[in-house]
C-alpha cells in the first residue's frame, strides 16, 4: 500500500512537467477542442488510478496486466494534463507580495549553497563534486533576481546553464558509471528508458511552452504557416531558437538550445531512473520498496516538478481564478519556487540513480564486481 501511494504521488507530479523554459501561452477559454476543463481533470484522475492498479498488479505477479495498467494510466495522465495546460487562464495583475520575490530568491539560493556544503561535509566529505552541484543549482536559482535586467545576455548565465549537464554527467560517471552501464545492459531496461524519454519529451514540450496545440488567434496574427529564427529568453538567458506556426494543424512553438539542454538533463535523468525500475522489475524485485520508491516514486518523477504551467492548470481547474497566486509564485522569474523545484529534482534524481544502480547490481545473478565506486 505504501508503494502504491508513492507511485500515485509520482504520477501526479508527471502533470508538473519539466523545465524552467518559457511558460506556455495561457488562454482565456475553459475548453480544449470542445472538452470541458473538468473532463480533462477527470482523465488525469482516471490515469492516476490506472497507474496505481497497474503497480499493484505487477507486485502481485501479473506483469502483463500491470504493464497495461501503467501504460494506459500514463496515456490518460499525459493526455489530460496536456489539455489542462493548453487552457489555463492568465491573471493580469501581479499581487503585491510578489515584491518580496527577489529577497526570498537570494535567501533560498544562499541556504541551498550553504546546505550543500554542510551536508556534504558531514555525509560525503570525500565528494566535493556534490558541493559543486549544489553551488551550481544555487547560482541558477539566484541568477534572475540578482543580475541587472535579469542577466538575459550575460555570459555567466550561459555558463551556468551549460555547466549543469556536464556536472550531472560527471557525478553519475564518478559514482555509478559502470553500475549504470551494467544495470541498463538489458533490452527491457533500455526500452523502458526510451519510452519514458519519449513520453517525457512530449509533455515537456507542451508544459514548458515550446509547443502548443491551441495557439492564440486574433487581429494582427498571421494566417499562414511560417518558420523563423529568433532569440528566446529562457532558461536564464537568450538562446537561438527556431520558431514555427502551422495554423492548419493547429500548432505553434519553438525549439531552442536552452530547451534542449533542460530536456537533456531532466528527461535523461527521468528515463535513467525508469530504466532502472524496469531492470529491477525484470529481475523479480517488483515488491521491493527500494525498487520503486528509490528509483521512481521518491525522486524520478520529481523532475517534472520544475515547471509551473501544469501545476497551475490543475489548481486552476479546481479553484478557478482563486488560483492566481499559484500562477505568480511559479511563473515570475524572480520567484524562488522554480529554482527550488529544479534543484530538488536534479538532486533527488541523481542520488536515486546512484542508489538504484547499486541496488540493481546486488540482485541475484548480477555481477557486483564491475564498479568500484561507493554508492552511499
How far, in Å, CA of 176 to CA of 156, rounded?
A: 30
Query: Mean pLDDT, the chain, as a whole number?
Result: 74
pLDDT tens sequence across 204-244: 887 777 888 777 665 566 778 889 999 888 889 999 999 99
141 has pLDDT over 80: yes
162 has pLDDT over 60: yes
**pLDDT for residue 304:** 47
Q: If you average pLDDT over residues 307-319, what whole number do you get? A: 60
The pair phi, psi for residue 94, each rounded to 5°, is -75, 140
**pLDDT for residue 375:** 40
**pLDDT for residue 218:** 59
Confidence of residue 188 (pLDDT cuts 50, 70, 90): confident
Q: If you average pLDDT over residues 63-90, what whole number do you get? A: 73
pLDDT tens sequence across 34-63: 456 667 777 878 888 887 787 777 767 676
Nearest to 353 by CA among 218, 198, 177: 177
Q: Give the residues across from 32 on adjacent strands.
A: 35
- Helix or strand or coil: residue 233? strand
**pLDDT for residue 321:** 62
Task: Read off the C-alpha cell for 373.
Answer: 565506486
Confidence of residue 318 (pLDDT cuts 50, 70, 90): low
Confidence of residue 284 (pLDDT cuts 50, 70, 90): low
Q: Which of 60-64, 310-314, 363-367 has the highest mean pLDDT?
A: 60-64
pLDDT tens sequence across 120-139: 999 989 899 999 999 999 99
Q: Give the residues across from 35 on adjacent strands.
A: 32
8 has pLDDT over 60: no
Q: How many CB atoms lie within 10 A of CB 375?
A: 17
> Pairing mode, if any, of strands 211-212 and 251-256?
antiparallel
Confidence of residue 370 (pLDDT cuts 50, 70, 90): very low
**pLDDT for residue 102:** 83
Amino acid at each position: 500500500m505504501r508503494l502504491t501511494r508513492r507511485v500515485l504521488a509520482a504520477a501526479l507530479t508527471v502533470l508538473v512537467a519539466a523545465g524552467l523554459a518559457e511558460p506556455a501561452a495561457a488562454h482565456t477559454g475553459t475548453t480544449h477542442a470542445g472538452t470541458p476543463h473538468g473532463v480533462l481533470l477527470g482523465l488525469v484522475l482516471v490515469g492516476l488510478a490506472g497507474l496505481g492498479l497497474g503497480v499493484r498488479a505487477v507486485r502481485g505477479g501479473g506483469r502483463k496486466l500491470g504493464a497495461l495498467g501503467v501504460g494506459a494510466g500514463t496515456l490518460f495522465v499525459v493526455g489530460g494534463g496536456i489539455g489542462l495546460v493548453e487552457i489555463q487562464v492568465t491573471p493580469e495583475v501581479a499581487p503585491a507580495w510578489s515584491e518580496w520575490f527577489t529577497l526570498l530568491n537570494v535567501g533560498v539560493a544562499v541556504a541551498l549553497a550553504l546546505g550543500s556544503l554542510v551536508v556534504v561535509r558531514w555525509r560525503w566529505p570525500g565528494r566535493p563534486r556534490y558541493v559543486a552541484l549544489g553551488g551550481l543549482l544555487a547560482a541558477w536559482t539566484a541568477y534572475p533576481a540578482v543580475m541587472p535586467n535579469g542577466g538575459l545576455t550575460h555570459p555567466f548565465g550561459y555558463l551556468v546553464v551549460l555547466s549543469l549537464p556536464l556536472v550531472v554527467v560527471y557525478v553519475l560517471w564518478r559514482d555509478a558509471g559502470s553500475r549504470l552501464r551494467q544495470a541498463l545492459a538489458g533490452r527491457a531496461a533500455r526500452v523502458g528508458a526510451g519510452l519514458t524519454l519519449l513520453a517525457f519529451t512530449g509533455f515537456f514540450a507542451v508544459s514548458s511552452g515550446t509547443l502548443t496545440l491551441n495557439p492564440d488567434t486574433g487581429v494582427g496574427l498571421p494566417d499562414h504557416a511560417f518558420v523563423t529564427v529568433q532569440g528566446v529568453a529562457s532558461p536564464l538567458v537568450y538562446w537561438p531558437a527556431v520558431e514555427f506556426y502551422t495554423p492548419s494543424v493547429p500548432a505553434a512553438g519553438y525549439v531552442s538550445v536552452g530547451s534542449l539542454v533542460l530536456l537533456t538533463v531532466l528527461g535523461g535523468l527521468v528515463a535513467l531512473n525508469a530504466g532502472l525500475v524496469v531492470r529491477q522489475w525484470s529481475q523479480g524485485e517488483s515488491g521491493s520498496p527500494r525498487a520503486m520508491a528509490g528509483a521512481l516514486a521518491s525522486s524520478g518523477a520529481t523532475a517534472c516538478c520544475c515547471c509551473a504551467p501544469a501545476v497551475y492548470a490543475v489548481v486552476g481547474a479546481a479553484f478557478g481564478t482563486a488560483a492566481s497566486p499559484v500562477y505568480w509564485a511559479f511563473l515570475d522569474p524572480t520567484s524562488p519556487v522554480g529554482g527550488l523545484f529544479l534543484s530538488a529534482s536534479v538532486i533527488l534524481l541523481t542520488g536515486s540513480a546512484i542508489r538504484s544502480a547499486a541496488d540493481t547490481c546486488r540482485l541475484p545473478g548480477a555481477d557486483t564486481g564491475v564498479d568500484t565506486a561507493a554508492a552511499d
